[in-house]
């Protein structure tokens, strides 16, 4: 792995400015708040910049929500899903109406064919002039139907594209709602949903494990070097977590310096080895400034492991993994502890044939 470099103390990029400004004002690190301050600091929206400047030195979340509603109404809260649902419902109704109209038109064309076919069954009774009129009427009806079909096909394609666009935007909003803006890992909201799924089936209980991790002495890092350096260290550690495990392992930042991994399909020994490998990688990673060369020292993490089969529910699983993490902390930090080793493995009697 390439040695990681920490940004200099004076973080000149816009992301660093956003984080520093929010911290100075005591603003919560919510995705919407990041978006507001990013737009304000880049100056891309002058009215938004003026609104942010007019805030007090300690703006309330209510003040920021008001700005969010004013400048990002399409992104605001639960209305995102409701708005997308309404748009999709309308588009689907338009498609249904289009298909109903198309069916009616084709049925009408079919009746014309049937009636013409019946009329032509006795050709001896038809004059040449009448045959020409029938042929002309048939040609006009066919041409009209083909034109209608082309128009319907074009309209249907447009509706399909609109539906795909709405679906894509909705998925993007959902992704942002579940993503930690600093590290781009899953956030606590996504983690709470994922850990709950474990206990929805016996397979989840039998074949899942939870790893909790906490950066050692992280407050000292922030106090000594400043929050921009602390944030960059968080990003580097998040990259190590993400890049050193299988793609199907769920990795989240659940708090300030806290991370969580949900591992599926691994024994306790294998889960422990995953945690231990990550711990060593972080310990061996040099944390230095890419600009000044300043060495920020060794950064380590403490970790706790608990198998889902050792707990009764999501809250119990989290609590036991947290106790194992605490054992690593009081045991000297920079280590991995198993919950099963704290009390002896008792399990919860989860069996393959146990009903949901």
Least confident of 28-32, 197-201, 239-243: 28-32
Residue position matching structure tokens 């809250």: 315
- How far is C-alpha 140 from the geometric centre of its chain's CA atoms? 54
Whether the per-residue pLDDT at 101 is higher than 80: the answer is no
The predicted model gives 286-293 an average pLDDT of 84
Please check whether residue 307 is in contact with residue 269, taking contact to mean a CB–CB distance below 8 angstroms: no
Q: How much helix, strand and coil, in percent to the nearest 5, is found in the chain?
A: 60, 10, 30
What's the pLDDT tens digit per position in 66-95?
Answer: 888 787 754 544 555 555 556 666 666 666
Question: Which run of H or of E encompasses 273?
Answer: helix 268-284
Q: With contact defined as beta carbons under 8 Å apart, do 197 and 205 qualify? A: no
Specify the pLDDT at position 39: 80
Reported as a pLDDT band with limits 50, 70 and 90, residue 8 is: very low
Angle CA 168–174–176, to nearest 5:
105
Check residue 101 and give left, alpha or beta (phi > 0: left; psi -120 to 50: alpha). Answer: alpha
* β-pair type (336-338, 301-307): parallel
For residue 36, pLDDT over 80 is answered with yes
Alpha-carbon gap, residue 41 to 73, rounded angstroms: 20
pLDDT at site 280: 97
Q: How far is CA 94 from CA 129, 160, 162, in A?
A: 43, 11, 11
The single residue listed with the structure tokens 């422990």 is 272
Q: Can you tell me the distance from the alpha carbon of 135 to that of 116, in angstroms, rounded to the nearest whole number? A: 9
Contact 171, 163 (CB under 8 A): no
pLDDT at 117 over 60: no
**Whole-number CA gyration radius for the chain:** 31
104 pLDDT higher than 90: no
Report residue 94 as tokens. Answer: 């338009």
Would you state the pLDDT for residue 293?
Answer: 82
Give the Cβ contact number of residue 119 at 10 Å.
14
- DSSP sequence for 173-198: HHHHHTB-TTT-SB-HHHHHHHHHHH
Which residues, in sequence order, are bridge partners of residue 252? 186, 260
**Run of H or E residues at 252:** strand 250-253
Other CB atoms within 10 A of residue 244 CB: 16
- Residue 331 near residue 346 (C-beta atoms within 8 A): no
Assess whether pLDDT exceeds 50 at residue 341: yes
Record the pTM: 0.56
At 200-213, the pLDDT tens digits run 887 778 889 999 99
User: Which of helix, strand or coil describes residue 212?
Assistant: strand
């Amino acid at each position: 792995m390439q040695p990681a470099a920490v940004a200099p103390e004076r973080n000149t990029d816009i992301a660093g400015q956003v984080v520093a400004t929010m911290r100075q004002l005591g603003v919560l690190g919510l995705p919407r708040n990041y978006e507001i301050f990013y737009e304000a600091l880049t100056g891309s929206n002058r009215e938004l910049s003026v609104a942010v400047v007019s805030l007090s030195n300690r703006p309330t979340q209510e003040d920021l929500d008001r700005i969010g509603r004013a400048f990002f109404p399409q992104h605001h809260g639960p209305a995102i899903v409701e708005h997308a649902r309404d748009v999709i419902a309308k588009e689907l109704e338009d498609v249904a109406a289009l298909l109903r109209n198309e069916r009616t038109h084709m049925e009408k064309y079919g009746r014309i064919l049937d009636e013409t076919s019946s009329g032509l069954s006795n050709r001896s009774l038809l004059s040449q002039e009448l045959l020409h009129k029938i042929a002309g009427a048939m040609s006009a009806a066919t041409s009209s139907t083909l034109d209608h079909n082309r128009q319907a096909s074009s309209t249907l394609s447009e509706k399909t594209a609109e539906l795909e666009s709405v679906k894509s935007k909705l998925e993007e909003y959902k992704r942002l709602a579940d993503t930690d803006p600093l590290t781009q890992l899953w956030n606590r909201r996504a983690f709470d949903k994922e850990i709950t799924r474990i206990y929805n089936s016996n397979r989840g209980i039998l074949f899942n494990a939870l790893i909790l991790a906490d950066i050692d002495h992280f407050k000292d890092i922030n106090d000594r070097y400043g929050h921009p350096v602390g944030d960059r260290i968080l990003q580097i550690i998040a990259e190590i977590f993400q890049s050193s495990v299988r793609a199907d392992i769920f990795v989240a930042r659940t708090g300030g310096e806290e991370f969580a991994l949900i591992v599926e399909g691994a024994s306790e020994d294998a889960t422990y080895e995953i945690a231990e490998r990550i711990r060593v990688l972080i310990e061996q990673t040099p944390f230095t400034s890419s600009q000044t060369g300043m060495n920020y020292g060794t950064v380590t993490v403490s970790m706790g492991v608990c198998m889902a089969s050792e707990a009764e529910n999501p809250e119990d699983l989290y609590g036991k993994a947290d106790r194992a993490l605490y054992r690593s902390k009081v045991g000297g930090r920079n280590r991995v502890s198993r919950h099963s080793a704290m009390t002896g493995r008792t399990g919860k009697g989860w069996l393959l044939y146990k009903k949901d």
